[in-house]
Structure 1
C-alpha cells in the first residue's frame, strides 16, 4: 500500500514541477525489451541532435572539429563516430567554463557537478536541468534492476567528497543540484534513505563505530544497500566475525571500485542478498548496471553511447579496452567521445533476461592505475583477485615509483607465515619483472576524494 502511494506522489511531482524523472524512467521500462534495431534507432537520433547542438553552441567542439575538418553532417552512421577526436579530462579542465558551456544555456539553468578527483584535480562541468532529470531516471532504473521499488528502504555510503554528504566530510568535489528540496523529500519518503558516514581516512574502522553502524542498519531495516564496496566489505567481515544477521536486505548495489567474485560471495554471505554492479561517474551519471542474471552490465543506451577502444580502434568482444562515452543527457557541457580513463570489455552476446540493452563487463580499473609489463597490462581487478585468495591479507596497495621501484603495502588480519610472504613476493616479482619491498601497515589510506587507490603509479 505504501509503495503505491509513493508512486502516486512521484507522478504528482512530475505533473506540477519540472522534476519529470518518473516519465523518463517509464520510457526506459517501455523500451528495454524492444529490438536492438529499434533501440539503436532512438539512440542514433539523440546522437545526431547532440552533435549539431554541440557544433553550433559549444566553442570547444566547434574549434576541435574545425581543426579536424569535420562537421556534424559528416557523421552519418555509428562507425563514423570514430573520426571525431577523443575528448580528454585535461581538455575539459583547461577550457572550463568558457569554451565548455553551451552558449544557448544559462548557468542559472544548470547544476555544477565535479568529479571526485581521485587521480588529480577534480573535473567540473555543468549539467542542464533536463539532463539532470534523465540521469535521475537512470538512477531509478538501476534501482529497478536491483529489485527495489519506490518506498523500499535504502542504506547508502559514498566517498566522503560525494554531493550526498553536502560538505559534511569534505569541501572538494561537491555538487550543486537542482530541486534540492524535492530531492530531500524524495530521499525521506520515496527512497527512505539513510546516509551512513563514509570511510573518512582509511580501511581501519574502530569496533565502536562498526557497532554504531550495525545498530543503525538494524533499526532502519533497509531492503537495499548501495555504494562503496570497500565499506560494505569491512562491515561484512565484522558481521561474519560476530555472527550478525539483518533480515530483509534484498540487494547490494556496488560502485566506485572493482569487485571480484570472492568479494561478491563474501557480501552475499554476510548480508544474505544478491550483489549488483553499477558503473558510472559524477560527470556521466549511470552508464551501465547489472541485471538479475549477472551476465554483464546493461548499457543505458538512451543516455550513453559507449565505445570500447584499443590502440585507437574498436576492440573485439572480450578484449580489455578503454571506455569512451558520449553522454546523451547533457547539453550544457556535452561530453562527446569522452575518455573516461576506465577499462572494461565489450560483451557481444544478448542477455538471457531478454532485455535488448547492450552488455559490457564490470570495470576492471583505471588505465592510469594499470601496470604495463612487457606489453601486458595488469589491472586493479587482477591484483584484487590475487589478494582475495590469501586469507591472511585484508587489504593491499601496490606503489610504483617513477624509477620503477615497487613497494607493496599489506594490511594483515592474522599472522602471515613466512612461506606465504615469500610466495607473494615471488609471484609479484615474476609478474612485474622487478624486485619489490613488502611493508606491513595498519590501513590503506583514502585519497582526498575519499576513494581508495589499490594501485598507484609514478609516486
Structure 2
C-alpha cells in the first residue's frame, strides 16, 4: 500500500478525520466563497452548526451548473495568485467548468493517484505508459502526478498518434498503461491489424477510466493483453482521477480516498440518502482542498457504496463501478436503461466487436433507440461483406431478442462493417441524440 496508515485505518479513525476536515472546509467556504455563504444562510446553517459528518445532510447541494454560473473563478476559496494549476472540463453550454489547484492540492492529488497505481499492482520500479490526454483534461496530468509521487517512471505519450503509441509499447515494454478503455480497445485493434500480439508487449496491469465500462469490457481487455484491468474514478469538479480506484486483489469496488472526501449516495429524485448497497447518485464533499473546496457535489454518476472488508486489507469504503450517469439514462417505452447495461449484452456476442453507438430518436410521443454495432472481421468475411445476408438478419434478431430479455427494451439494430463506428482517441462517443433535430424539423 502507498499510505497504509490511512488505507487500513478503522472506521472510527476515518470518521474522526472526516469530521475534522468537514469542519475546516465549511468554515473556509463560509468565509471565502460568497456563493456558499449565501447558500448556507438560505439553508439556515452556520459553520458552528457543523460538528461532525453526521451533520452533512443539513448542508446544501452543489451542481455543475453552479460552477458554470460562477465562471471562471467565482467559487475559488483562494486568490488567483495562490493557484498552481488550472484544469477545465468540457461543457455543452459552450464554456467549460474551471477548477483550480494550489501546490498543496496537487501534492494531495499526486498521493491519491499514487495509491491508485499501487492498488492496481504498480510499484516505484515500474515504467508506466500514460495514454490519457495531457492538457486541460485532468486525466493525463492527474495520472502523471501519481506516477511521479510513487517514484515510478512515466512515458507521457498523451492521446492519439496510435501507431507511434504501439511502437513505444513494443520497444519500451512498460509494466503498466493508463488510458480510456475505449482507446485501449482501439490500440489492441490496431496492434492486431499490424500483426502484433497485444499480449507480447508485456504489460502487467492497466488503469482505465474517464467513461463507464462493463465487466465484459474488462474481460476482453484482460484476455487480449494478459493483464489485470483496473477501474479508476474521478472528475475535475471533485479533483480528477484518483478519487477512488479498484485493487488488483479484489477488483470488487473502488476504494475511496476517504481521508480527502466524504461520499454519500442519494436518491436523485427525492435527494434523500439511500441505504448502503443501494444504487443512487454519488455526492462528494471535499475535506482537504484549498483552491476549490466543494460541498455535497452532485456528480450525476450512479453507483452504490459498501464498507464491507476487502480481500486486499484496505478498510476504506468502496463504490461500485459507475453504472451510468443520470443524464445518460434514457427511457424506452417506460423502461429506464443505461448504455453500460446494453454494452454487457453486446460484448457477450462473438460476432461483434466492442464498438457501438446508441442513437436516440423520437417516434411520435415516445422515445426510441437505434443501436449501431460493429461486426467482427471474421463474421464480415463469412457473409462476403453483404450486410443484407440472411445470417445478418438472424444476428440482428438475436441481438434484439437478447436486449429485450436482459434490458427489457425493444430497439432497432443496425449492423456496421468493421471500422464502421468512428474511433475515439479519448472518451468514446456512445450516445447520439437526434431528438432535438427531429423536433426542429417538425417545427419548420
Q: Is the 8 A contact 2:109 2:145 kept in 1?
A: no
Partner of 1:52: 27
Q: Deviations over 1:164-218 (max 9, x none)?
A: 2x4xxxxx7589989xxx979959x943222345258xxxxxxxx55x4332112
Would the aligned equivalents of 1:113 and 1:176 in 2 still touch at CA under 8 Å?
no
Contact 1:350 1:359 in 2 (8 A): no
Q: 1:81 to 1:197 in 2, by over 3 A?
A: closer
**Could you tell me which residue of structure 2 aligns to residue 126 of structure 1?**
100
Q: C-alpha separation between the residues in 2 aligned to 1:313 and 1:327? A: 20
Moved over 6 A (4+): 174-178, 182-185
Q: Which residue of 2 aligns with 1:152?
A: 126
Would you say 1:91 and 2:66 are equivalent positions?
Answer: yes
Moved more, 299-308 or 120-129: 120-129
Could you say what secondary structure the match of 1:73 adopts?
helix
What's the counterpart of residue 256 of structure 1? 210
Decide whether the 8 Å contact of 1:369 with 1:456 is kept in 2. no
- Output the CA distance in 2 between the equivalents of 1:367 and 1:175: 22
Instruction: Give the conservation status (yes or no) of the 8 Å contact 1:320–1:344.
Output: yes
Matched residue pairs, number?
A: 409
Is residue 336 from structure 1 mapped to residue 295 from structure 2 by the alignment?
Answer: yes
Distance 1:143-1:82 versus aligned 2 partners, 3 A rule = same
2:269 equivalent to 1:309: no
Match of 1:114 in 2: 88
Contact 2:67/2:75 (<8 A) preserved:
yes
Aligned runs of 1:279-428 on 2, under 5 Å?
279-283=233-237, 284-285=239-240, 286-291=242-247, 292-310=249-267, 311-373=270-332, 376-394=335-353, 395-401=355-361, 404-413=367-376, 414-415=379-380, 417-428=392-403
Cα deviation for residue 132 of structure 1 reads 1.4
Q: Deviations for 1:48-77, whole angstroms, at most 9, x for unmatched residues?
A: 110111111101100111112112222233
In the alignment, is residue 192 of structure 1 matched against residue 153 of structure 2?
A: yes
Shift of 1:437: 6.1
CA–CA separation in structure 2 for the residues paired with 1:185 and 1:363: 24
Change (3 A) 1:375 1:39: farther
**By how many angstroms is 1:224 displaced?**
0.7
TM-score normalised to structure 2 length: 0.82
1:95 shift after superposition: 1.1
The two structures, once aligned, show a CA RMSD in angstroms of 3.2
Cα separation, 1, equivalents of 2:220 and 2:422: 22
- Counterparts of 2:200 and 2:409, CA distance in 1: 46
**CA 247–386 in structure 1, closer or farther in 2 if over 3 Å, else same:** same
Residue 219 of structure 1 is matched in structure 2 by 171
Tell me, yes or no, if the aligned pair for 1:111 and 1:176 is still in contact at 8 Å.
no
For residue 110 of structure 1, report the CA deviation from its aligned partner: 3.8
TM-superposed deviation, 1:364: 1.6
SS at match of 1:264: helix
- Which residue is equivalent to 1:64? 39
Q: 1:116 to 1:143 in 2, by over 3 A?
A: farther
Q: Which runs of 5+ in 1 are unaligned?
A: 1-24, 167-171, 201-208
Per the TM alignment, residue 456 of structure 1 is displaced from its structure 2 partner at its CA by 4.1
Residue number in structure 1 paired with 2:12:
37
Residues 221, 85 of structure 1: CA spacing in aligned structure 2 closer, same or farther, 3 A cutoff?
A: same
Contact 2:359 2:369 in 1 (8 A): yes
2-structure distance, mates of 1:134, 1:142: 13
Shift of 1:117: 3.9
Q: CA deviation at 1:120?
A: 6.7
Structure 2 residue matching 1:150: 3-state secondary structure: coil
For each residue in 1:402-424, what CA deviation from the matched residue of structure 2 results, as whole angstroms up to 9, or x when unmatched? 66242322222233631110233
For each residue in 1:144-163, what CA deviation from the matched residue of structure 2 results, as whole angstroms up to 9, or x when unmatched? Answer: 112212241011212xxx3x
Structure 1 residues 68 and 183: CA distance shift in structure 2, 3 A = closer
Q: 1:453 aligns with which of 429, 432, 436?
A: 429
Q: Say whether the 8 Å CA contact 1:306–1:326 is kept in structure 2.
A: yes
- Does the CA contact (< 8 Å) of 1:236 and 1:266 recur in 2? no
d(CA) in 2 for partners of 1:217, 1:194: 10
Q: TM-score scaled by structure 1?
A: 0.79
Residue 230 of structure 1 and its aligned partner are, at CA, apart by 0.9
